[in-house]
Amino acid sequence: MRAHLYDILARRQLSALFQPIVHMQSGEIIAYEGLIRGPSDSPLHAPMNLFKAARANGLTVEVEHLCRKVVLERFAELGLPGKLFLNVSPECLLQRDARHGETLEVIHQIGINPERVIIELTENQPTYDYDLMRDAVLHYRKMGFQIAIDDLGEGFSSLRLWSELRPEYVKIDMHFIQGINHDPVKLQFVRSIQEIAEKSNTRVIAEGIETQAELLVLRDVGVAYGQGYHLGRPHPTPARAAPAEVVKALSRNGVAVYPQRGADKQATVLKLLNQVQAVSTSMNNNEVYEIFQRAPDLLIIPVVDDGMPQGLISRFVMIEHFARPYERELYGKKSCRQFMDQKPLIADKSTSLQELSFRMAQADAHHLFNGFIITDQGRYLGMGTGHDLMREITQMQIHAARYANPLTQLPGNVPITEHIDRLLESGSRFWVCYFDLDHFKPFNDVYGYRRGDDVIQLTGNLLTSHCDPDRDFVGHIGGDDFMVLFQSEDWEQRCQTVMEEFGRNVLDFYSTEDRERGGYISEDRQGKKVFYSLMSVSIGAIRVEPHQYYTHHQIATAAAESKKQAKKTFGNSLFLDRRQA
């Protein structure tokens, strides 16, 4: 292998490829990353294998110097526009030998301005000597080069490098880019990196963009530049302009649909853990009574033997017994097991809050007051209170109602409002459609809320399946009210399809008799018998032109008014308010 490497070096058997880096607002190619390939018929063709072999044979510096020379010469030969990102490992950057200025020499020889070259630091192993790194980077900056850090979020110490070196560019690793349009955690990571970059005067490059949906989300987040197969593959003679569909997509008004975070179904009882000192069954009732006397706020004491929970002692149960004639004399010196609840509610630390809430609702009422024991594989950890559980569940329900509907998991009122604000800010045309089910309440009264929930889920599924997930935002306001923010030009056809499919599918929720007569009889709010026809969909629509509305409140009011007009028509109806504000 060492001989093979020497042969590659002697015969310069390396070739350069270039991958474009695109401006996310204009679609213009602003730079290329220079990549290297070994001999095509060699196991060292792949760069990872090439550099691994070079490192193993102590030839890293020699191989890297040749790579840089080949890339620079080919870049100049092709006359490519913009800047060149040149890969350099930190270990080579730190070399103090006579070849330290070799890159600058090559650049001068072939006539490239150093200001067009960005030194891209690629981490293959940990970097520990940050002082030396700072000195080396300062040396390169004095020569006119700029600095970029590669694979942010993936390397050994990339965040520390960012802080220490203050590079002009950071590249976010492709792991955080691919699928960002479906993953709220990846979106939040990139948003955070973008926020840091803006404050530190650094430009962000997103690596590994493979779809238009990823591209548009990243553009909307404010990422400056992009790189990936969707924008251009590495090539010996790369294109000088981005693909037409990329330029068109980036120039188009409108906003990407961000992925939404649903309700936190992962929250466990560990969130409610309180450290409460336990007693053992060897302790007598007088001793437990003294503990309650010394701690007026203590309401429950857990009983634990050798780490295993045995039960709970309630302050009020003990005081009630000791208040009776002769009970203290009779039982005071007996084991505290005497007044212990021997069947407490016990939950492992991994139990979800929803599951515990369900168990609490099914259990006897005193458990809500006593609380519950939290264990780790059966061993006592601490206590949780019914009050804390109720508070947490209530907070989750409030969050769900605002951010994600618990029934359909569709975005709630806050994300709907945020998306409207983004659309208004973008200055693009869009359509707001307010969907409402006719005669839903009497259906719920007659057929029960479970079947009503099924109809709500059917509606949510129909809206989701007939909207473009990358352009149209489907939200669930609550109950049987939905809102869709369309950027698709064929929004009207999509609405018609939803109405037709709802009309067919909703029949399955009625009895044969009600289907045949087209409705059913139920009492109205005044207690009178009324015939209600089968459920249908009313859609109130408004078209929003740039600068026609200025707040989401105005849009909500206009959409609600349009929905009222739609409901005046019997059966499925779509009303578009054609008046201009």
Question: 169-209, pLDDT tens digit by residue?
Answer: 999 999 999 999 999 889 989 999 999 999 999 999 999 99
User: Left (φ > 0), alpha (ψ -120 to 50) or beta: where does 173 sit?
Assistant: beta
How many CA atoms does the CB half-sphere of 135 hold within 13 Å? 8
DSSP for 401-451, please give it.
HHHB-TTT--B-HHHHHHHHHHHHHHT--EEEEEEEEETHHHHHHHH-HHH
Residue 432 has pLDDT above 70, yes or no: yes
Is the pLDDT score of 499 beyond 60? yes
Helix (H, G, I), strand (E, B) or coil at 83: strand
Q: For the residues 279-284, what does the mean pLDDT come to?
A: 94
Phi-psi region of 86 (alpha: psi -120 to 50; beta: other; left: phi over 0): beta
d(CA 300, CA 340): 10
Tell whether the model's pLDDT for residue 512 goes beyond 90.
Answer: yes
Report the Cα–Cα distance between both ends of the chain, in Å, rounded: 75
Taking residues 262-282, report their average pLDDT: 83
Structure tokens at 571: 């059966």
Residue 458 above 90 pLDDT?
A: yes
What tens digit of pLDDT does each residue of 54-107 get?
888 888 888 888 899 999 999 999 999 999 999 988 777 776 543 456 777 888
Would you call 330 helix, strand, or coil by DSSP? Answer: helix
Between strands 473-478 and 481-486, the pairing is antiparallel
- Rounded to the nearest 10 degrees, the angle between the axes of helix 47-56 and helix 2-11 is 120
Quote the tokens at residue 198: 């803006």
Can you give the pLDDT at residue 229? 97
Cα 485 to Cα 411: distance, rounded to the nearest angstrom: 12
Which pLDDT tens digit goes with each residue over 526-542? 778 889 999 999 999 99
Percent of the chain with pLDDT over 90: 61
pLDDT at 262: 58
Domains, the chain: 1-250 (3.20.20.450), 269-393 (3.10.580.10), 405-577 (3.30.70.270)
| Cβ–Cβ < 8 Å for 482, 459 | yes
Q: With bands split at pLDDT 50, 70 and 90, how would you rate the model's confidence at 155?
A: low
Helices (H), 266-412: 285-294, 315-323, 327-331, 353-362, 366-370, 386-403
CA atoms of 332 and 322, how far apart (whole Å): 8
Longest dimension (CA), the chain: 106
Report the alpha-carbon distance of residue 19 to residue 227 in Å, rounded.
Answer: 8
Rounded to the nearest integer, the mean pLDDT of the chain is 89
Supply the pLDDT for residue 201.
Answer: 92
How does pLDDT run across 331-347, given as a tens digit for each residue? 999 999 999 999 999 99
pLDDT at 99: 44
Arithmetic mean of pLDDT, 539-564: 94
CA of residue 167 relative to chain centroid, distance: 27
Strands 529-533 and 225-226: unpaired
Going from the C-alpha of 82 to that of each of 33, 34, 79, 116, 209, the distances in angstroms are: 11, 12, 10, 7, 20
Task: Sort residue 530 into left (φ over 0), alpha (ψ -120 to 50) or beta.
Answer: beta
